[in-house]
Amino acid sequence: MEKNELLTALEALDSTSRQLDIDETERSAMMQAVTAYANQFLSSLKDAKAFAKNEVGDLSIQSQTYSLSQILTIFQNEVAANGINAASGTHLGYIPGGGLFASAIADFLAAVSNTYASVHYASPGAATMENEVINWLKNIFGFPASAVGCLSSGGSISTLIAFTAARDRHGIKNEKVPNAVVYLSEQVHHSTQKALRIIGLGDVVIRTIALDKNHRMQAPELNAAIEKDKASGLQPFLIVSSSGTTDTGAIDPLDAIADIAIAQGCWHHVDAAYGGFFILTSKKDKFKGIEKADSLIVDPHKGMFLPYGVGAVLVKDSEAVLQSNYYAANYMQDVSNETLLKSSANLSPELTKHFRGLRVWLPLQLHGIQPFIACLEEKILLTAYFRMQLQELGFCLGPEPDLSVSYFWYPFPSDTDAKNKALMAAIHRDGSVFLSSSMIDGRFVIRMAILTFRTKKSTIDKAVEMIKNCLQKIL
């Protein structure tokens, strides 16, 4: 192309390409519209349904464009008002969190500045901020300063990072895989088995250790299983325990398991995705021994009530983490002098990613830690309160949980499972409070997971009222 031709072509593209760079007046108008929408959304939460099942309209991407106001209407009707309302305190299904407003502001700043946090050289401030979040977590869980960690998208990716380090430390590859043994409990989160498969360990031997009546792993059984496997020539290498199981809110005996892991030379991984932050509460003693683990995961998008999209992993053995995640490349040569461990890119499969540190750091600096602890203590008491109310209605309860997830069923004299299923369906049809179900010890049960910061005593009263009404319909 001639230079003149090139300049003409550039000029022709200019006004259209500029449309992406919105000017200040329009930016203000857009922010106002979004602020108004967000305020309306949040203010109406207390009367909003927890669950609604609607058909999704046409969301395909065609050649026409929409105004922001049209887009906000589409968002409200097709997304916000459809399915589980995960911002509402009435979401008591799966593992909720809520979505702190302060984090939304942090996400906005992170996106506006497009900060590149993965490499210290690119944004020393952002990298340091993320590293300070990791330091704060190490402190909470009693991990040494030499431990490493990073913020991921959630518990599943955190698990991948931790297990990859365990695999590399123990050299589990090729012909060693079918002889390697992983120990877990029936109540372990399914992301555990999934991670093993993804990292090439789908063919390891998996031992499911028996639980006590509170759904906690029985440490002596674990030890016996390891002894037996060693005696038959297998290679025990990884023990996965939970501090806060998804279905039963149980904390495995971490201290005893840690001692077994140390004595047997196994890697001890603790899944604290849901329950980890309860270590800041009166339940602290139940976490004794977590500081001896080799790795742990914890989800700020659960127990810190942050919007979805942030998990964390801590690993003591930095060499093991670097083995799979550190890679030098020519186009990265400008950054290669930076201290390896200051850049999360060397500790995670992710390179370019959202600046997640700010959405954790900002709310902590803005609110301080006390309101978080108060919210968590409140959830523990609300769980006890919910259980008392259900018992008065004649429900059977699962064992007292260690944390804030527990389950119940109604002792219908016949077709108990089928009728509890019908009760669950009636609760979903009602939708004022959302609960989910599970199978525990072969029984259909309804779970209650109390974790969002917006869940209050009035929410539990509303849930009990709804359950009472739904039960009437089945009886």
Ligand X SMILES: *Cc1c(COP(=O)(O)O)cnc(C)c1O
Of the ranges 69-77, 150-158, 199-207, 354-362, which one interacts with ligand X (CB under 6 A)?
150-158
- Determine, following the binding rule CB under 6 A, whether residue 299 of this chain makes contact with ligand X: yes
Q: If binding is defined by CB under 6 A, does position 363 make contact with ligand X?
A: no
State how beta strands 443-449 and 436-440 pair. antiparallel
Question: Are residues 322 and 340 in contact, defined by beta-carbon separation less than 8 angstroms?
Answer: yes
Q: Does 406 bind ligand X (CB under 6 A)?
A: no
Contact 33, 72 (CB under 8 A): yes
The single residue among 98, 155, 357, 398 that binds ligand X, judged by CB under 6 A, is 155
Q: Which residue has the tokens 């009760």?
A: 423
Residue 79 structure tokens: 């997304």
Please, which residue, 155 or 307, has the CB nearer to ligand X?
155
Q: Which region holds residue 442: left if phi is over 0, alpha if psi is between -120 and 50, else beta?
A: left
What one-character DSSP code corresponds to residue 389? H
Residue 99 contacts ligand X per CB under 6 A: no
| Min dist. Cβ of residue 95 to ligand X (A) | 5
- 303 belongs to the binding site for ligand X (CB under 6 A): no
- Say whether residue 273 binds ligand X (CB under 6 A): yes
- Extract the runs of DSSP E, i.e. beta strands, from 299-442: 311-315, 396-397, 405-409, 436-440
Nearer to ligand X, 130 or 299 (CB): 299
- Would you count residue 247 as binding ligand X (CB under 6 A)? no
98, 149, 154, 401: which one binds ligand X (CB under 6 A): 154
**Which of positions 172-201 make contact with ligand X (CB under 6 A)?**
189, 191
Treating both helix axes as pointing N-terminal to C-terminal, what angle do 191-198 and 155-169 enclose, rounded to 10 degrees?
50
Contacting residue, 168, 271, 338, 402, with ligand X by CB under 6 A:
271
Nearest-CB residue to ligand X?
155
Helices 457-474, 416-430: inter-axial angle, 10-degree rounding = 130
In degrees, rounded to 5, the angle at the alpha carbon of residue 449 between the alpha carbons of residues 418 and 462 is: 80
DSSP classification of residue 208: E
Asked if 249 is part of the footprint of ligand X (rule: CB under 6 A), the reply reads no
Per-residue string for binding with ligand X, 304-343, x by CB under 6 A? -------x--------------------------------
Report in angstroms the alpha-carbon separations of 357 from 134, 135, 150, 153, 207: 9, 12, 9, 11, 36
Q: Among 360, 139, 141, 381, which Cα is nearest to 282's? A: 381
Q: CB-wise, 296 or 464, nearer to ligand X?
A: 296
Q: Shortest approach of ligand X to residue 297 CB, angstroms?
A: 7
Minimum distance, C-beta of residue 110 to ligand X, in the bound complex (Å):
19
Q: How far apart are CA 209 and CA 475, in angstroms?
A: 38
Q: Given candidates 118, 235, 246, 383, which one binds ligand X under the rule CB under 6 A?
A: 246
Using CB under 6 A as the binding rule, whether residue 95 contacts ligand X is answered as yes
**Closest distance to ligand X from the beta carbon of 278 (Å):** 12
Give the integer Cα–Cα distance in Å for 157 and 167: 15
Do the Cβ atoms of 273 and 241 come closer than 8 Å?
Answer: no
Instruction: Tell me which residue of 295, 283, 207, 221 sits closest to 251, measured CA to CA.
Output: 283
Among 143, 183, 267, 274, binds ligand X (CB under 6 A): 274
Q: How far is the CB of 189 from ligand X (least distance, A)?
A: 3
Query: Which residue number, 119 or 157, has a Cβ lying nearer to ligand X?
Result: 157
Residue 357 within binding range of ligand X, rule CB under 6 A: no
Q: Which is nearer to ligand X, 252 or 338 (CB)?
A: 252
Enumerate binding residues for ligand X (CB under 6 A): 95, 154-156, 189, 191, 242, 244, 246, 271, 273-274, 299, 311
